Amino acid sequence: MRFCLLLFSALLLIACNKPNPHPELADEIYLDLNSKVQETQKELEAAKKNFEEQKKELAAVVPQTGTIKYAQKRYFEAERKIQALEQEKKYLELKTASRKKYTQIEYQKAFKAGKPWPTVEEVEAYRKYKEVSTVPPSWNSKNRVDTYEKAHGLKEIGPNPKESGPKEAE
């Protein structure tokens, strides 16, 4: 009886260690890309509705009133926005599919090596990239130099030296 119980326990432990058939569902990067695809799809649908409204408005405009230029401008802007969103959606779909394939390959390697996956370094690097890419670029070189100097301890974070200098006698 004990032998059967021991054999059953050993089989249970051995059988529980098999690879995940869908490792991409545990990958934060893949899930984030997938959510971006869905957001872009919603934006695209809203842009298409707006485009149809602009099309109707352009057809309803009375010629030679001056409003036709504004209606045409809004129509072509809506058309360009649709094109941009379709391109972004296609890019994100390709990137998501690529990440899914990469995830499956890397997960299998990590599973065979007995290592945890996804790696903490990879996820942190993605989070850092995502944080940096959402900040709009600053083209003011003085601000960039000041920020760099403050971040690397090259400049004190106190009052402006021009303001705290010696005062002239009155």
Q: Could you identify the residue written with the tokens 């050993």? A: 10
| Whole-number Å distance between alpha carbons of 18 and 11 | 13
Please tell me the pTM assigned to this model: 0.69
What pLDDT, in 10s, does the model give residues 67-120?
899 999 999 999 999 999 999 999 999 999 999 999 999 999 999 998 888 889
Give residue-wise pLDDT tens across range 9-47. Answer: 766 666 667 788 888 888 999 999 999 999 999 999 999
Report the distance separating Cα 99 and Cα 27, nearest Å: 9
Closest residue by Cα to residue 37 from 111, 45, 121? 45
Cβ neighbours around 72 below 10 Å, total: 13
